[in-house]
Structure 1
């Protein structure tokens, strides 16, 4: 079968352009094999990274049909099937007898060096910023090994599977709008350090990751990092676990992000859903303690009043008692899981 590859090409200081290449392929052919053939048979100037060809090194990360992935892992059949599902969900018609197209582009959120090769230095710098290794004091154990039980080691397995391919970083919309956010890859590794029984810097790490811009509260919970991770590390889940550790150590007065989470849960417990009249006042103005926050609500409040969209009353949702009992059961379970 023939497939047309639309590859976004760009030099470091040049404008991007799309170049087309047509190949005869089989359904099982990987995207990396296709790129190799284009380079070897049609255009030796095409630049991309590769190494292991076996989903181990993470070198061949790129955007394939709009999604960050490993070129050595994805094949023609899988991509065509995914594109067909997207067309069906969007209500688009069948492509008919047209030659299928594959769009290949470099990873996002990173500077372009050439074609599909990006500068990974910001990625590595943000990883270094969270100090994702066992503390020096934790390693200072003379004349013996630092042993872990199988249960302790098993807590690190999921985060340890990360191959640093950059797919999650590429898709992170929080990183796209906030250059201070360290990214999902770094915070997934940060949770590995928190969960490691050999480390002795838990409290200082949690304070570091509690930063509202660089740390866990910068995450927008879009789930894209979980969706594209080729190793099922689920970075957003790891970020959530760090948030849980922080929330357990602070009350609602500690910061706006912490107050946001605690007030949200409190209001849902009360009414089954959020009373928006209270939510903004309790979170942004800190129940009238934060005058600057209160004043920031004024423009939105005036617009809502003019549009007559300010509810005068609040009606709890049906099943509020059941919602409350579920939340309390989860909270009780979490409390039981905490080490004494």
Structure 2
């Protein structure tokens, strides 16, 4: 079958351009093999990363038809079936990953990716056991808890598609927090409390995740970074009792209000989360301009009516909470 590959090309600090290359290929041919043919047969200046060609190293991550994926894993037939099943001459668009500056063509600078991984200290700490009497052994059950996050190959696909990272340059990214949960769950590590304090920092840590699900959708190894971020949040909510941050209040208040009324009483939500029940004077003052605007536009509700089916909603939430508690035990 004949396929046109539209490749977004770019030199560092220069405007991007799109160049097209036509190939006669079999449906089972991988995108990486197609790029190799383009480079070897048509344009030797094309730049991209590759190594293992077997979904192990993560080097060939790029955007294929608008989503980040491994070029060695995706093939022509599946891409055509997904985006252009009826086209006489189908086109496949290939672009560099997002959230990272382009060095050349499909090669991006991953410095921030690695720096943010380092920021979460993704190493098991054994500082409290300087001279162990034996190896730090784990049971099969303890090790099984690490299997999913241990599958991460650091390809950068989740980081590339992360909306939170795009708008907040201080957010460490889903790849780092997935590794962070591995450290929290590792039975050999002795710094869980310190780690949870660190990952709880404002929107730089777990609370910066917008739960857009893109990281889960594009991960080629089914690590499910968003799920791991959620697990860290649950650990923080379970352990953080002395210092309740705004992020924690947000989560707890949201659940409590929905349990109470079926939906959110916005008056109570602002006062409890932002103003911390009148204990945070700065937060209370920050609500004043919004309150005035709502009053002048007659948008401030004077009362609150619970939603229909509030008992059903409350029952569902309590069932989920009971299930989570039972799972931890």
TM-score of the two chains, using structure 1 as the length reference: 0.91
Offset at residue 128 of structure 1 (A) = 0.8
**What is residue 21 of structure 1 aligned with on the other side?**
21
Aligned partners of 2:163, 2:40: CA distance in 1, in Å?
35
**What is residue 273 of structure 2 aligned with on the other side?**
283
Say whether the 8 Å CA contact 1:252–1:259 is kept in structure 2. Answer: no
**Pair 1:328-2:308 in alignment:** no
Offset at residue 336 of structure 1 (A) = 3.7
Say whether the 8 Å CA contact 1:252–1:262 is kept in structure 2. Answer: no
Offset at residue 146 of structure 1 (A) = 1.9
Offset at residue 83 of structure 1 (A) = 1.8
Offset at residue 11 of structure 1 (A) = 1.2
> 152, 162, 171: which is aligned to 2:142?
152
**What is residue 227 of structure 2 aligned with on the other side?**
237
For structure 2, the 5+ residue unaligned runs are: none
**What is residue 56 of structure 1 aligned with on the other side?**
56
For structure 1, the 5+ residue unaligned runs are: 85-93
Offset at residue 95 of structure 1 (A) = 6.1
Aligned partners of 1:81, 1:292: CA distance in 2, in Å?
55
Aligned partners of 2:286, 2:103: CA distance in 1, in Å?
42
Corresponding residue pairs, total: 329
TM-score of the two chains, using structure 2 as the length reference: 0.94
Aligned partners of 2:325, 2:87: CA distance in 1, in Å?
57
The residue correspondences of 1:217-236 to structure 2 (distance < 5 A) are 217-236=207-226
Aligned partners of 2:242, 2:261: CA distance in 1, in Å?
19
Aligned partners of 1:326, 1:241: CA distance in 2, in Å?
20
Aligned partners of 1:253, 1:168: CA distance in 2, in Å?
31
Offset at residue 275 of structure 1 (A) = 1.4
More divergent stretch after superposition (156-165 vs 206-215) = 206-215
The residue correspondences of 1:111-126 to structure 2 (distance < 5 A) are 111-126=101-116
Q: In the TM superposition, what whole-angstrom CA distance separates every residue of 1:140-190 from its partner, at most 9, and x where no partner exists?
A: 453522221110000000000000000000011111111111110000000
More divergent stretch after superposition (123-132 vs 75-84) = 75-84
More divergent stretch after superposition (272-281 vs 104-113) = 272-281
The residue correspondences of 1:181-200 to structure 2 (distance < 5 A) are 181-200=171-190
The residue correspondences of 1:169-208 to structure 2 (distance < 5 A) are 169-208=159-198
Offset at residue 327 of structure 1 (A) = 1.8
Offset at residue 338 of structure 1 (A) = 4.2
More divergent stretch after superposition (299-308 vs 43-52) = 299-308
The residue correspondences of 1:1-340 to structure 2 (distance < 5 A) are 1-84=1-84, 97=88, 99-137=89-127, 140-251=130-241, 254-338=244-328
Say whether the 8 Å CA contact 1:138–1:198 is kept in structure 2. Answer: no
**What is residue 91 of structure 1 aligned with on the other side?**
none
Aligned partners of 1:165, 1:72: CA distance in 2, in Å?
12
Say whether the 8 Å CA contact 2:253–2:272 is kept in structure 1. Answer: yes
Aligned partners of 2:87, 2:75: CA distance in 1, in Å?
21
Offset at residue 322 of structure 1 (A) = 2.2
Say whether the 8 Å CA contact 2:126–2:188 is kept in structure 1. Answer: no
